[in-house]
Amino acid sequence: MIDDKGHVRHQLDLSGAEWKPAGPEAEVAFVPHTDGVEYVAVRQPGGPTLVYTPSEWEAFQNGAIDGEFTP
């Protein structure tokens, strides 16, 4: 997979992000960038913030709906 967000990873301003619960130990925020793309940031308390493109986030959501992550 190509990391097509490497150029913005350290440019996203997360200081004003509206973090919403995304499970028992995760939060998600949709963060606009000057390139016109709204990136998805995911974090866990005390952990790093992961950044996803809209297409990566959509693929994750579809996988969850399809049960791809269910043991």
- pLDDT tens-digit map of 21-33: 988 899 999 998 8
Q: Decide if 14 is inside a domain.
A: no
Residue 37 within any structural domain of the chain: yes
> Does 47 fall in a domain?
yes
Burial of 21 (0-12, 13-18, 19+ CB in 10 A): exposed
Residue 58 within a domain = yes
Please report the pLDDT score of residue 46 as a whole number. 78
Is 18 part of any domain?
no
Domain of residue 59, residue span: 24-65
* Model confidence, pTM: 0.78
**Phi and psi at residue 39, in whole multiples of 5°?**
-85, 160
Is the residue at 5 inside a domain? no
Residue 10 lies in a domain: no
The count of domains in the chain is: 1
